[in-house]
Amino acid sequence: MAKILLIDDDEQVLKVMTSFLEREHHQITTAINGRLGISLLEKQQFDLVITDVIMPDQDGIEVLMWFLKQVNRPKIIAMSGGSASLDQNLLLNTCSKLHADKVLSKPFDFATLTSAVSEVLEI
Amino acid sequence: MAEEMKNTTSASELRRKADENIASQPQPTSDLDAKRLLHELQVHQVELEMQNLELSATVTSLKQEITDRKEAEAKLHIIEEKFSTTFHLSPDSININRLSDGMYVEINEGFTAITGYTAEEVIGKTSLELNIWDNPEDRSRLAKELKECGIVNNLEATFRRKDGTTVVGLMSARVIKIEGEPCILSISRDISIRKQTERLLKASEERYRTIFEQSLDAIFYTNPDGAIYKANPSACSMFGMTEQELCAAGRNGIINRDDPKLAAAIADRKQSRQINTELTCVRKNGEVFPAEVSSVITSEDPPQSFVIIRDISERKRIEQQLLQSQKMEAIGQLAGGVAHDFNNKLMAILGYAELAKMDINDSDKILNYLDEMIRAAEHSRDITCRLLTFSRQQVVTPQVLDANKIIAHSLKSLYRLIGEHVSISFEPCENLWNIGMDPVQLDQVVMKLSINARDAMPDGGSLIIETRNTTYDISSSSSIDAVSGDYVMVTFCDTGTGMDKETLTHIFEPFFTTKEVGKGTGLGLATIYGIIRQNSGFIDVTSSVAQGTEFKVYIPRHFSEPIKEPAAKADSVSTGSSSILLVEDEDAVRNVVSLFLKKIGYTVHEAATPTVALELADDPSIQIDLVLTDYVMPGMNGKVMMERIHELRPRIRCIYASGFSTEHVQFSKEEHFMQKPYDLIKLSGLLKRVISGKEVQ
């Protein structure tokens, strides 16, 4: 069981992913934007952060850049469905360069998610 | 009287002398001698009287001669005075030189005024000594002509002034005799200014000729009635005619007579004497092309006008291409944003479908998952709706609205479109009045004005969207569209680059953009202006360069309350028992709709093509109460199909469904329309109403 922080501005995505990950007995905390996510990270320890990239009020790229300044950081999975002006692959490549441990292209299924989580947590 | 007395005295003197003479003579000795002497004396007297008469006539004649001479002398004096005055006061230069040695004898004030030399400086000198000839050949020509003809008229010569500058003179001269001495009388007029004017005029004419000959625009001399007098080479190539052909063709042969703006353009020019407008013209081969036509009436008598025609076919083509590329760019941008939202919603749908499979035996959970899936799908439907709005393919359906709700909804998408460098805040007014407007249109206004604000803040800034109730007074208005009354005012205030006054006057014009190439959305403010005018509202814009822009959108207050849609209730399915002909070429859609309709009690006859539908309609054994059909289908559209069905079954009611626009399609009272994707529950309600309507009839 891992302690996971989910950051996504789409409330339905948060809900469905929470349902998935709770089935795998993970402990899930959610945040609806990067700013709230970072404020949670400043207070709590997490094993894994799964963050969306394009969000209002501090996006996933800012979350990743915040991690660059941290000494101890959890594992990170970045996920994106693209944006109005940027290609989905470009966004995810940028996340990889910012040391995201895994990137997922939305939409993805249950198996893909659980496999990615297992991979980064080396479960 | 004195003359007569003098004559009488002379006669008395003569008589006395005669008496003395006679007395001195020997006295007559006889009567005969006396008589002879008397006779002689009488004869002498007569002779003397006759001589006296002759002398008197001579005196009178001499007197007349003296009088005439005096008069002539007086006249001569007057003439001399006139000449002298003329000589001295003439503005032209007059000089007299001796022919023998060329020395100046006399000059007038005009000479001094033109050359700068005074009489003292020139009298007794020659023109060569003064070096007055700028070009010695002028002097040679003068001398030669004077020698040959004794007279020179209008010889153009350049003289050097005392100060060294030159002056062009027009000179006439002739040889005259003064006190027997042959002299040259020369008169010269300063024509420097005239020559300069001539030079300028010539240069101007030359320039004009160059413009006329070399201009890429067609230039015509015409009269206001349309006759062409002259055309330049570009006119010939533009219209494919010779100048003679153009003159013969006249205005009616080159301007498209069917152009609806032609009559107004002619009337405008008559009133304001000039116009600058866009019209369509016709080439010799019949090709019609767009042109910018400028025309000025240059003279009333004789009536003349000057017309310049510029072929703007290429510009129009490029404008169309630009518009197309801007649209493509906007679609690209929109597609990216839509993909982002769609992927999130697909995540939800796929995820909940997977969860449903996992919890297949837990009906409560499954119901919950299905609701979530429906929510996600409904959100996706909103996204496609917005897509259609952006491409203006949406059917406009005004509703009574709370603008705050629509703006709050739009903001969800706006955050993604605007980017994090611009902060958006929404300040909704409490108890905001209702408006009557299509919510999609309001969403469009919010999106476009916000995107424009974003583009005006490339280095970041803030956008404040505010709503307010306001009663507008036209007397304090600067907007020509404004009407006094109650409005809901939506304000978009940014801290962007702002606009100058010139830009402000053009912002609502189609194709007007201040954005760099490649940054325009192609969804200009003209659309916003059109939407707001369509809803009887207006827009006030204020802007300051480097400070920002404020758009105040006024939408008329609507006094009704928003209508709650009956179909909004999740479980309000309307059942029925009628027979429906379902025409849909998309199998998946036809299957699900058919299943649903059967489930709620209807009898369904399915047709995958219009041809099959017509066959079913032609079968009298099949009962059909209503046709539910897709609008856009291969081979035949729904409208044409229904016309044929109506030939077989008049007055049968119909519901069209389409994901495309039916904006330009007129529906009859028996026909209804649903935008795809539609809600099956809403469909059940509409079916019930349409069918029951039929039953009433």
pLDDT computed for residue B258 by the predictor:
86
B477-497 per-position pLDDT tens digit: 666 677 888 999 999 999 998
| A17 interaction partners in chain B (CB closer than 8 Å) | 347, 351
Nearest residue in B to A105, CA atom: B343
pLDDT computed for residue B1 by the predictor:
47
pLDDT computed for residue B585 by the predictor:
87
> Which CATH code is given to the segment(s) B215-311?
3.30.450.20
Whether B230 has a pLDDT exceeding 90, the answer reads: yes
B110-130 per-position pLDDT tens digit: 999 999 999 999 999 999 999
In this complex, the residue of B337, B341, B415 whose CB is nearest that of residue A56 is B415
Average pLDDT over residues B400-425: 82
Contact B416 A109 (CB under 8 A): no
Q: Tokens 């002056």 belong to which residue?
A: B167
Average pLDDT over residues B462-474: 91
B330-342 per-position pLDDT tens digit: 666 667 767 777 8
Contact B347 A107 (CB under 8 A): yes
Average pLDDT over residues B363-392: 78
Average pLDDT over residues B226-241: 94
Assigned CATH topology for domain B90-195? Beta-Lactamase (3.30.450)
- The structural domains of chain B, with segments of one domain joined by +, span 2-83, 90-195, 215-311, 316-379, 395-558, 568-696
Average pLDDT over residues B450-462: 86
Q: Cα(B433)–Cα(B467) distance, rounded to whole angstroms?
A: 10
Q: Would you say domain B395-558 falls under CATH 2.60.40.1180?
A: no
* Count of other CB atoms within 10 angstroms of residue B564: 8
pLDDT computed for residue B491 by the predictor:
96
pLDDT computed for residue B340 by the predictor:
77
pLDDT computed for residue B512 by the predictor:
47
Q: Tokens 């109650």 belong to which residue?
A: B486
Residues of A at the B interface, defined by Cβ within 8 angstroms:
8-10, 12-13, 15-17, 19-20, 23, 54, 56-59, 80-88, 106-110
* Count of other CB atoms within 10 angstroms of residue B300: 9
Q: Residue B361 is encoded by which pair of tokens?
A: 């035996």
Q: What angle do CA A91, A94, A95 make, to 5 degrees?
A: 90
Q: How confident is the model at residue B389 (pLDDT cuts 50, 70, 90)?
A: low
Q: Residue B223 is encoded by which pair of tokens?
A: 């009269």
pLDDT computed for residue B240 by the predictor:
95
Mean pLDDT of chain B: 84
Closest residue by Cα to residue B177 from B105, B121, B118 = B105
Closest residue by Cα to residue B449 from B337, B341, B553, B545 = B553
| A86 interaction partners in chain B (CB closer than 8 Å) | 336
pLDDT computed for residue B170 by the predictor:
93
Number of domains in chain A: 1
Q: What is the CATH number of the domain that holds A99?
A: 3.40.50.2300
Greater model confidence, B28 or B315:
B315
Averages of pLDDT over runs of 10 residues in chain A (123 residues) are 93 92 94 91 94 82 88 91 72 86 90 94 87
| B379 interaction partners in chain A (CB closer than 8 Å) | 12
Burial of B466 (0-12, 13-18, 19+ CB in 10 A): middle
In three-state secondary structure terms, B550 is: strand
Closest residue by Cα to residue B584 from B676, B487, B501 = B676
* Closest approach of A18 to chain B, Cα-based (Å): 10
Average pLDDT over residues B125-142: 91
Question: What are the angstrom distances between the C-alpha of A65 and each of A51, A98, A100?
Answer: 13, 7, 10
Determine the residue type at B149.
C
Average pLDDT over residues B249-259: 90
Q: How confident is the model at residue B520 (pLDDT cuts 50, 70, 90)?
A: very low
B8-28 per-position pLDDT tens digit: 567 788 778 877 877 777 766
Whether the CA torsion B502, B506, B511, B516 is positive or negative: it is positive
Average pLDDT over residues B488-508: 86
* Closest approach of B414 to chain A, Cα-based (Å): 9
B644-696 per-position pLDDT tens digit: 999 999 888 999 888 765 555 666 666 788 877 777 888 888 888 888 874 33
> Which CATH code is given to the segment(s) B568-696?
3.40.50.2300
pLDDT computed for residue B420 by the predictor:
67
> For the residues of B376-407, what is the DSSP string, one character each?
HHHHHHHHHHHHHHHTT-PPP--EEE-HHHHH
Average pLDDT over residues B265-285: 88
Q: Does B209 touch chain A (CB under 8 A)?
A: no
Average pLDDT over residues B62-90: 88
Average pLDDT over residues B60-70: 92
Whether B533 has a pLDDT exceeding 90, the answer reads: no
Contact A106 B347 (CB under 8 A): yes
Percent of chain A past pLDDT 90, that is, above it, reads 51
Is the distance from CB of B396 to CB of B661 less than 8 angstroms?
A: no
Q: What is the ipTM of this complex?
A: 0.76
Average pLDDT over residues B574-581: 87
* Count of other CB atoms within 10 angstroms of residue B667: 13
Is the distance from CB of B623 to CB of B649 less than 8 angstroms?
A: no
Is the distance from CB of B535 to CB of B485 less than 8 angstroms?
A: no
* Closest approach of B449 to chain A, Cα-based (Å): 17
Domain holding A10, by residue range, is 3-121
Q: Residue B597 is encoded by which pair of tokens?
A: 């309709």
Q: What angle do CA B396, B331, B454 make, to 5 degrees?
A: 90
Is the distance from CB of B157 to CB of B138 less than 8 angstroms?
A: yes
Q: Cα(B680)–Cα(B179) distance, rounded to whole angstroms?
A: 130
Burial of B381-400, coded b for 16+ CB within 10 Å and e otherwise, reads bbbeebbbbbeeebeeeebe
Contact A12 B350 (CB under 8 A): no
- DSSP code for B535: T
pLDDT computed for residue B315 by the predictor:
87
| A54 interaction partners in chain B (CB closer than 8 Å) | 340, 416
Main-chain dihedrals φ then ψ at residue B453, nearest 5 degrees: -65, -40
Domains B90-195 and B395-558 equal at CATH topology level: no
Q: How confident is the model at residue B636 (pLDDT cuts 50, 70, 90)?
A: confident
Q: Cα(B366)–Cα(B2) distance, rounded to whole angstroms?
A: 164
B151-198 per-position pLDDT tens digit: 999 999 999 999 999 999 999 999 999 888 999 999 999 998 888 898
Q: How confident is the model at residue B637 (pLDDT cuts 50, 70, 90)?
A: confident
Main-chain dihedrals φ then ψ at residue A67, nearest 5 degrees: -65, -30
Burial of B312 (0-12, 13-18, 19+ CB in 10 A): middle
| B354 interaction partners in chain A (CB closer than 8 Å) | 20, 109-110
Q: Cα(A78)–Cα(A98) distance, rounded to whole angstroms?
A: 10
